[in-house]
Amino acid sequence: MYGNAYVDPENKIVNSITANEDPIKLAEFESRIAAGDKIEPMDWMPAEYKKQLVRMIEQHAHSEIIGALPEGTWITRAPGFRRKLALMAKVQDEIGHGQLLYSAAETLGKSREAMTNDLITGKSKYSNVFNYPAKTWADSAVIAWLIDAGAIVNQLANSKGSYGPYCRALDRICAEESFHLKYGHDNVVFLATGTPVQRAMVQDALNRWWEPIMHFFGPPDKESIHSATLMRWKVKMGSNDDMRNMFLDMYVPKIWDLGLTLPDENLHKNEETGRWEYTEPNWEVFKQVINGNGPCNKERLAVRRKAEENGRWVRKALAKPSEKYVTPLS
């Protein structure tokens, strides 16, 4: 399905991380993966498979929760009642996706409290794109169209992957994201075909969001740390470059059709290879952003921390009596 999959030709990476596994169980596990079986929570799995799944699903869950924040800032300022309702529904959906994904990660033994704690203390990552401000209404339109589009490209592929609970969550998420994408596209078309001021506003948003969107699919395959393992065990069904290429293939023509431009003079499809060629985005900027130093990282985590503090009494009220009242026994 995907043209330029990243490979670990001599299986060096996977052999080194499975050295301590029972070889018979490992072979059985890998033959199930090869046959396209779904792995379920109670099934035997290599420790590294579990660790990688927790890392990836947890980061994905955090991305949905933090991802609601840039667009969420536009709920109070959306131009018109109908747009406000639509944006509120979208933001609620994103939070719901976070809940589904936390539940999927919990099946692997990490508690939600531990995941939330790792997010608010800055230990866990979440998607780079949500560390940028949504300066104008056009930013919210570009996010809803193109970031949701990028998310669908990635998640539709991975929903055919090997871990049952993650795949089932992705099926549901993709159905909702495809509606978000239509909403975002409608908003971008409205602005792109509107007054010169509206058109300039959407072009400006696109110019600012292009590099973060290129970063969104992860570092180039040759620099990706986890792809070889994740692809061998069918957690990731395409490499970072494959996904980026698929996104460019589907959406650059649609952007150009609207008469909008992209801030990369070298962007074009090489018809012989079928791959898009482009100026490499600045990967140093990417590293800074995913490691806590983007324009909005501190603000995003501060909001999440405040929500955690403000909601503590609700969680306490809903807790089992045995957890709610700690009665001294002696």
Token pair 């010169």: residue: 196
Under 8 Å between Cβ of 138 and 13:
no
CB of 160 to ligand FAQ, least distance (A): 13
Closer to ligand FAQ by CB, 188 or 290: give it.
290
CA distance 246 to 257: 18
C-alpha distances out from residue 121 to 98, 187, 313, Å: 18, 35, 20
* DSSP, residue by residue, 265-308: TT-EEETTTTEEE-PPP-HHHHHHIIIIISSSHHHHHHHHHHHH
Is residue 116 involved in binding ligand FAQ (CB under 6 A)? no
CB of 203 to ligand FAQ, least distance (A): 20
Is residue 224 involved in binding ligand FAQ (CB under 6 A)? yes
Is residue 50 involved in binding ligand FAQ (CB under 6 A)? no
Is residue 131 involved in binding ligand FAQ (CB under 6 A)? no
* Of 31-39, 55-63, 76-84, 246-254: span binding ligand FAQ (CB under 6 A): 55-63
C-alpha distances out from residue 72 to 67, 110, 137, 143, 183, Å: 9, 28, 11, 11, 15
| Contact residue for ligand FAQ among 14, 108, 149, 230 (CB under 6 A) | 230
* DSSP, residue by residue, 44-59: ---HHHHHHHHHHHHH
CA distance 220 to 208: 21
Query: Contact letters (x/-) for ligand FAQ, 61-80, by CB under 6 A?
Result: --xx--xx--x---------
| Contact residue for ligand FAQ among 151, 248, 255, 260 (CB under 6 A) | 151
* Partners of 277 in the β-ladder: 268
CA distance 291 to 52: 19
| Contact residue for ligand FAQ among 46, 72, 161, 218 (CB under 6 A) | 218
Which positions from 240 through 279 interact with ligand FAQ, judged by CB under 6 A? 240
Is residue 147 involved in binding ligand FAQ (CB under 6 A)? yes
CA distance 311 to 167: 30
| Contact residue for ligand FAQ among 58, 106, 148, 211 (CB under 6 A) | 148
**3-state SS assignment for residue 269:** strand
Closer to ligand FAQ by CB, 199 or 249: give it.
249
- Residues that bind ligand FAQ in the complex, under the rule CB under 6 A: 55-56, 59-60, 63-64, 67-68, 71, 94, 125, 127-128, 143, 147-148, 151, 154, 215-219, 224-227, 230, 236, 240, 290
